[in-house]
A and B are shown apart, each in its own frame.
Chain A
Amino acid sequence: MSDKQKDNASMNWDHVASNGLLSRRHLLGLGLASTASLAANPLLAADTAAISTPSWSKVPGRDLSGYGNPSAFTQEVQRLTGSPNPLLPGGGASRSPLHLLQGSITPNGLHFERHHAGIPNVDPAQHRLLIHGLVRQALSFSYEDLLAYPQESRIYFLECSGNSGANTAAQPSDGTAASLHGLLSGAQWTGVRLSTLLEEAGVKEEASWIAATGVDGASMGRSVPLNKALDDVFIALYQNGEPIRPEQGYPMRLFVPGWEGNVSIKWLGQIKLTSGPANFRDETSRYTDFLADGKALQFTYPMGVKSVITSPSGQMTLRRHGVHEVTGLAWSGSGAISRVEISADGGSTWAEALLEGENQALALSRFRLPWLWEGGPAVLQSRATDSAGNVQPTRAVVLAQYDAANRYHFNGIQSWSVSEQGVVANAFA
């Protein structure tokens, strides 16, 4: 045993659950621990060659730019795009590369996409938002009009209700955090409260729902109960500080906090006050949850409490023994994340992770916990609890609620197996 290995073994680790999970207090000491474990690997010698004056410090750098781009060295940080369906032009989804990102805000160019007829090129000067139906006065708003209203900024997650549906299959697919769970993003959205505009139009007493449609080729429509519409629904004009991206509905989208992403209608052009749901195709034929008895759930709106470890995660390989940070994202459509627990032994023992930041309701929360991996097999899991007391269920518990063909609203615990070679893979544990 080398001196460094002795250091590793004799360090005063505070174990909080079996198979190497360590106390959060070691997060501060991660740098030290990594140094020790790096040096313990005889293949890694001191990198003296890097101690030199690099060429880029001997010449002026490139010029300014009107809109910045990521480093050329991070070109692999991309959305995961599926292959286009020639029979449905513009339809499909791209997924956020969750395993390549940190923090809890998704950059705008990496926010997931789900389109049903492509991305329309909407000219804001010609665009109008019509509010009509069961109102005292139907009204038309231009983009410029909306910019003049009082705005609010709020941080929310957005998740497609089909996210993680791959884990309802009978066998685990060899996916990454992105391919399995990347129909999820978080952003700061800024816009105008829908209630402000509804008050201006004057909602009639018999109205109980809104029906919202977009101006894309599919004119995507969804119905939202009026009580939610008047509560916290707003019309988003900005995303992380800049005008929302075309992929997110430029010039304006409905934003329905905490609810399945499909109801946050992009390229919003119409809000009709109605006395019931419109039963759009995408709230009947699609986005309904099959039950085992042949019935189906309609209007399952809030996304269930959920979490996923983004590192280590599927298709990664641990290349050294020693302390690793287990980190990931947790969120709930029913409130704030109050607790995330981590297991390294497939759910037998659990330890509470550190929740980073302000931990706002209906937003992504980043969690972290140190883990000492010494080369043995492990199954990493995370389990989130929200402020309403909902606890993320196991995969088996979720599957038992539905027909086997159901793919929506899967929020079961994700298991990542770690082999003795350090290979991390999707697993059903």
Chain B
Amino acid sequence: MPLRKCAKIIKGSMALLILSALTGVFAADDIVQLGQPVSEADLRDWDLIIMPDGSGLPEGAGSAVQGSAVYEQQCASCHGASGKGMPGVPALVGENNSAGEPVVRAVGNYWPSATTLFDYVRRAMPPTAPKSLSTEQVYQVVAYVLFLNDIIGEEHELTHNNLSTVDMPNRNGFVDRSQMQ
């Protein structure tokens, strides 16, 4: 055990002894403090979380025109050239079918935040080699999927500044139950 940690434990234990002597209360939470300080700057490239307001997005840009090649190489074999998916692979393009056909809930008609697409593609796609796409490739392919869903134009350049402002049609389609438990 590093000396620093031992010192912290001993310090904590002494404080505990004094506290216990004074109050007779056992303050278990004070015994062990072993977390190693790190700086948020050190975590910037490691932290993949993108918030709906766009915070966490790495600097970069890409358009659907650029993304079609990435999509063709990395995505189309499973998700299909037009993003319809196949058995065992989710569709990327939503369909609001009428006449009794089931609705296909996907990016364009269901996902509330465009940032989710960036976050998910970067952390989890493609399944055989997650985290292998460059930042530019992720921007490009996200733009392409949004283009396939008629959310943005082919030339629209997504950037770390404007991705969170993409107008997702179903952004108000969810009932937040997080505080109704």
Check if A and B associate.
Answer: yes
Known: A272-B49, A277-B178, A295-B173. A218 touches B124 (CB 8 A): yes
Most A CB contacts (10 A, CB to CB) among B38, B49, B105 go to B49
Question: Smallest CB–CB gap between B168 and chain A, Å?
Answer: 10
Q: Out of A139, A199, A284, A405, name the residue touching B29 (CB < 8 Å).
A: A199
Instruction: Assess the A301–B119 pair: CB atoms within 8 A.
Output: no
Docked CA distance A75–B123 (Å): 38
Residue numbers in B under 8 Å from A248 (CB-CB): none
Docked CA distance A279–B173 (Å): 13
Docked CA distance A199–B32 (Å): 12
Instruction: Assess the B47–A272 pair: CB atoms within 8 A.
Output: yes
Instruction: Assess the A278–B51 pair: CB atoms within 8 A.
Output: yes
Residue numbers in B under 8 Å from A300 (CB-CB): 177
A148 at the interface (CB under 8 A from B): yes
Interface residues of A in 121-145 (CB under 8 A from B): 130-133, 137-141, 145
B111 at the interface (CB under 8 A from A): yes
Instruction: Assess the A225–B35 pair: CB atoms within 8 A.
Output: no
Instruction: Assess the A225–B43 pair: CB atoms within 8 A.
Output: no
Residue numbers in B under 8 Å from A105 (CB-CB): none
A298 at the interface (CB under 8 A from B): yes
A104 at the interface (CB under 8 A from B): no
Chain B contact residue count (CB 8 A cutoff): 53
Q: Out of B35, B111, B113, B176, name the residue touching A200 (CB < 8 Å).
A: B35
Q: Using an 8 Å CB-CB cutoff, how does the interface string of A285-326 with B read, 1 for contact, 0 for none?
A: 100101100111111111000000000000000000000000
Q: Which residue of B lies closest to A138 (CB)?
A: B38
Known: A91-B127, A116-B124. A132 touches B43 (CB 8 A): yes
B31 at the interface (CB under 8 A from A): yes
A422 at the interface (CB under 8 A from B): no
Q: Using an 8 Å CB-CB cutoff, how does the interface string of A76-104 with B read, 1 for contact, 0 for none?
A: 00000000010111010000000000000
Instruction: Assess the B49–A149 pair: CB atoms within 8 A.
Output: no
Docked CA distance A284–B171 (Å): 10
B115 at the interface (CB under 8 A from A): yes
Docked CA distance A23–B43 (Å): 62
Instruction: Assess the B181–A298 pair: CB atoms within 8 A.
Output: no
Instruction: Assess the B127–A201 pair: CB atoms within 8 A.
Output: no
B78 at the interface (CB under 8 A from A): yes
B69 at the interface (CB under 8 A from A): no
Instruction: Assess the B105–A148 pair: CB atoms within 8 A.
Output: no
Docked CA distance A270–B124 (Å): 16
Residue numbers in B under 8 Å from A218 (CB-CB): 123-124, 130
Instruction: Assess the A149–B34 pair: CB atoms within 8 A.
Output: yes
Instruction: Assess the B181–A228 pair: CB atoms within 8 A.
Output: yes
B116 at the interface (CB under 8 A from A): yes
Instruction: Assess the A217–B127 pair: CB atoms within 8 A.
Output: yes
Instruction: Assess the A217–B124 pair: CB atoms within 8 A.
Output: yes
Interface residues of B in 28-87 (CB under 8 A from A): 28-29, 31-40, 43, 46-52, 78, 86
Question: Smallest CB–CB gap between B166 and chain A, Å?
Answer: 13
Instruction: Assess the B48–A213 pair: CB atoms within 8 A.
Output: yes
Instruction: Assess the A279–B115 pair: CB atoms within 8 A.
Output: yes
B22 at the interface (CB under 8 A from A): no
Instruction: Assess the A302–B181 pair: CB atoms within 8 A.
Output: yes
Residue numbers in A under 8 Å from B120 (CB-CB): 280-281, 285
Instruction: Assess the B89–A87 pair: CB atoms within 8 A.
Output: yes
A211 at the interface (CB under 8 A from B): yes
Residue numbers in B under 8 Å from A225 (CB-CB): 178-179
Instruction: Assess the B38–A130 pair: CB atoms within 8 A.
Output: yes
Q: Using an 8 Å CB-CB cutoff, how does the interface string of A137-172 with B read, 1 for contact, 0 for none?
A: 111110001001110000000000000000000000
Residue numbers in B under 8 Å from A279 (CB-CB): 51-52, 112-113, 115-116
Docked CA distance A116–B124 (Å): 9
Measured CB to CB, the residues of B under 8 A from A are 5, 28-29, 31-40, 43, 46-52, 78, 86, 88-90, 102-103, 105-107, 110-113, 115-116, 119-120, 123-124, 127-128, 130-131, 173-179, 181
Could you list 30 examples of A-B contacts with CB < 8 Å? A85-B88, A87-B86, A87-B127, A116-B124, A132-B47, A141-B34, A145-B36, A148-B34, A150-B29, A200-B35, A201-B35, A213-B49, A213-B123, A219-B48, A219-B123, A221-B119, A274-B51, A279-B52, A279-B113, A284-B116, A285-B110, A295-B175, A296-B173, A296-B174, A297-B174, A298-B112, A298-B175, A298-B176, A302-B181, A405-B102
Shortest 9 CB-CB contacts between residues of A and residues of B: A139-B35, A299-B178, A281-B120, A145-B34, A219-B123, A298-B174, A218-B124, A140-B36, A85-B88
